[in-house]
């Protein structure tokens, strides 16, 4: 709360919103004091310099402690004048504050403010439906805070239902706009552009502003990933049509390279093998350990009768189950039999 008040006061100061309220209160103070001296007898200490400012403050704010008070009709009229001046000052001030808050809210909705974020995720470009899906997956996994940046054709924040997602609008290749989104302080940046050419331009701009952020780019044509390595070897490119892979790479940097390796012929790959019926009851842990020790393979999943199982180490496997594993080559059925009987 003190931080919010500080930001508001600083904004009001820049807007010169204090001018009229300050003018009113100073005028009332400077005119009421001589009038009070004229109206009150000299023995009333309310007119003393060390007392009058205090009486003026508590009276103008309508608090009124009662430790000092006028005793004459003229003094009472001066008190009424001070009260009216105080109310006018507070009303003017609160009106200016409310106006400033509404203006700030409107500027925030239109993406015109500088975001005060750090170690956050910046999402560049907005695609209706797709961006909502990405944000939902990221927020479900606790990836906050998020700054969404959109081009000028998006008139205001398209995701008001996500209060923790900030919004910036403008030319996304402009350094000033990227800095408004805090790209220079961001930990991760997702470039989810409208096409691959735009993605390359935005990636160049992002890496110019921040050389340390983990940058993930979605591409329609993965054959163009080589172009992005010319910009920065650490830029990670993922298939545009696999948004889940983009969110996984943002949350666990490097996982896209693992998937790429698994899908590339000639390296480690994914295979399947059926557990012979005679080995029904063999525990998952025994199969996993035997395949790992004997052939450097890792069982990823087990399927039985069309349903994926989530076996624990001591879970017995039904006969005929399908083992899905990662390995350097496809294992022969005889090798699988050895693993199951070990």
Instruction: Give the pLDDT score at 5.
Output: 42
Delineate the domains of the chain, giving CATH numbers in brackets.
2-109 (1.10.287.70), 121-262 (3.40.50.720), 269-341 (3.30.70.1450)
Alpha-helix runs per DSSP H in the chain: 2-14, 19-39, 49-60, 73-109, 130-140, 175-180, 196-209, 225-231, 243-251, 255-262, 284-295, 333-341
Give the single-character DSSP code of 1.
-
Instruction: Give the pLDDT score at 139.
Output: 86
Instruction: Give the pLDDT score at 179.
Output: 95
Cβ contact 112:139 at 8 Å? no
Whether 256 has a pLDDT exceeding 80, the answer reads no
**Among 242, 215, 244, 239, which Cα is nearest to 229's?**
215
Q: Which residue has the tokens 């790209």?
A: 183
Q: How confident is the prediction for the chain on average, in pLDDT? A: 84
Instruction: Give the pLDDT score at 1.
Output: 38
Instruction: Give the pLDDT score at 212.
Output: 93
**pLDDT single digits (tens) 198-229:** 999 999 999 999 999 999 999 999 889 889 98
Distance CA 338, CA 342 (A): 6
Instruction: Give the pLDDT score at 17.
Output: 59
**pLDDT single digits (tens) 3-48:** 444 454 455 455 455 677 788 888 888 888 888 889 888 888 888 8
Query: Out of 129-133, 233-237, 303-307, which region has the weakest mean confidence (pLDDT)?
Result: 303-307
Average pLDDT over residues 181-196: 95
**pLDDT single digits (tens) 263-275:** 666 567 888 888 8
Distance CA 258, CA 261 (A): 5
pLDDT tier, 120 (very low <50, low <70, confident <90, very high otherwise) = very high
Distance CA 114, CA 178 (A): 10
The highest-confidence range among 58-72, 263-277, 294-308, by mean pLDDT, is 294-308
Give the global pTM. 0.61
Counting residues of the chain whose pLDDT is more than 70, the rounded percentage is 89
**Among 122, 93, 90, 65, which Cα is nearest to 250's?**
122
pLDDT tier, 87 (very low <50, low <70, confident <90, very high otherwise) = confident
């Amino acid at each position: 709360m003190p931080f919010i008040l500080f930001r508001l006061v600083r904004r009001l100061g820049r807007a010169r919103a204090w001018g009229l309220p300050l003018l009113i209160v100073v005028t009332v103070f400077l005119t009421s004091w001589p009038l009070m001296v004229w109206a009150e007898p000299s023995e009333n200490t309310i007119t003393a310099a060390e007392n009058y400012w205090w009486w003026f403050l508590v009276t103008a704010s309508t608090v009124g402690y009662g430790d000092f008070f006028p005793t004459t009709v003229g003094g009472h009229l001066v008190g009424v004048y001070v009260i009216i001046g105080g109310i006018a000052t507070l009303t003017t001030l609160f009106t200016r504050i409310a106006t400033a808050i509404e203006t700030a809210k409107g500027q925030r909705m239109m993406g015109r403010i500088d975001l005060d974020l750090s170690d956050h995720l910046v999402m560049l470009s907005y695609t209706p439906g797709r961006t909502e899906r990405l944000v939902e997956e990221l927020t479900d996994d606790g990836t906050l805070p998020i700054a969404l940046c959109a081009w000028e054709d998006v008139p205001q924040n398209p995701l008001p239902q996500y209060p923790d997602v900030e919004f910036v609008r403008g030319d996304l290749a402009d350094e000033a706009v990227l800095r408004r989104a805090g790209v220079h302080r961001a930990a991760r940046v997702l470039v989810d552009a409208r096409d691959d050419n735009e993605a390359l331009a935005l990636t160049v701009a992002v890496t110019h502003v921040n050389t340390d952020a983990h940058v993930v780019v979605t591409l329609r044509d993965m054959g163009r990933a080589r172009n992005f390595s010319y910009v920065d070897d650490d830029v990670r490119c993922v298939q545009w049509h696999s948004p889940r892979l983009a969110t996984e790479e943002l949350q666990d940097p490097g996982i896209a390279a693992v998937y790429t390796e698994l899908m590339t012929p000639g390296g480690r790959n994914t295979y399947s093998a059926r557990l012979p019926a005679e080995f029904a009851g063999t525990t998952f842990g025994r199969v996993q350990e035997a395949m790992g020790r004997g052939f450097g393979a890792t069982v990823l999943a087990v399927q039985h009768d069309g349903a994926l199982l989530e076996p624990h180490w001591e879970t017995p496997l039904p006969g005929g189950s399908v083992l899905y594993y990662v390995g350097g080559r496809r294992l022969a059925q005889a090798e699988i039999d050895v693993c199951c009987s070990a």
